[in-house]
Amino acid sequence: MAAPVEVKIDEAQLLDDKPEDKEVVFRLLSKFNLSVGDVAEIFATYLLKHPANEKDLDRLRSALRLGATERQARMIAAAGKLLTSEQVADLLGYRGRQTANNKKRSGELLAISFPNRRGDFFPSFQFEASRVRPWIPELLKRIPNAWSALAFLTAKYDSLEGQSWLDILRADPSRVDELLAAADAYVS
């Protein structure tokens, strides 16, 4: 009687190659527009095993920029109409559009720009008739980056019962002091 043949089958093993694993995860994050919940679930679990380190900085920064265009579009929709520097010059009685650009540079006007569009764009909410609302330069003193300031103004907050600061000020302009206190806290 022949001796029984011993068959050895290797169990499938999960590849545990840290650099390779990280590359795959970052590629997945870049490829798919995952929801916040998806990312949180996958990535939080992954980070327990492979904490991020300095070598991951560039890829993390790229991943953080994903979806930024959609967010910018939502912020602009919440902000309302955008004016060109020529329109601002007409509205405020400036001699030319250069004055509007100078006011932007000195932090007196809120203006945003886009990499694929020429010129600056001025959210119309900062104007009241033919003047600049006084809280605009005060806000920009605290949060000078225009996109940051716009994100701060248009974000919806739990503490404001789901409203943004822009919603609050549109409904009740007297709450400017609260807005500026929140901006002070933002940079504290």
Q: Taking CB under 8 A as the rule, does residue 31 contact another protein?
A: no
Contact 120, 101 (CB under 8 A): yes
Angle at 89 between CA 88 and CA 93, to 5 degrees: 120
Helix (H, G, I), strand (E, B) or coil at 32: coil
Binders of another protein among 51-90, rule CB under 8 A?
Answer: 51-57, 60-61, 63-68, 71-72, 74-75
Question: How many of the chain's residues bind another protein (CB under 8 A)?
Answer: 45
Report the residue number, 63 or 91, with the smaller CB distance to another protein. 63
| Per-residue contact string for residues 95-134; x = within reach of another protein by CB under 8 A | ----------------------------------------
Report the residue number, 18 or 131, with the smaller CB distance to another protein. 18
Where helices occur in the chain by DSSP H, the ranges are: 18-31, 36-49, 57-65, 68-79, 85-92, 97-105, 135-142, 146-154, 165-171, 176-186
Report the residue number, 29 or 132, with the smaller CB distance to another protein. 29
Contact 146, 138 (CB under 8 A): no
Report the residue number, 42 or 92, with the smaller CB distance to another protein. 42
Angle at 169 between CA 168 and CA 175, to 5 degrees: 90
Rg, Å, the chain Cα set? 25
The type of residue at 51 is: P
Q: How far is the CB of 83 from another protein (least distance, A)?
A: 21
Q: How far is the CB of 179 from another protein (least distance, A)?
A: 12
Contact 186, 152 (CB under 8 A): yes
| Identified binder of another protein from the candidate list 27, 30, 32, 47, rule CB under 8 A | 47
| Per-residue contact string for residues 131-160; x = within reach of another protein by CB under 8 A | --------------x-xx--xx-xxxxxx-
Q: Taking CB under 8 A as the rule, does residue 188 contact another protein?
A: yes
Report the residue number, 1 or 44, with the smaller CB distance to another protein. 44
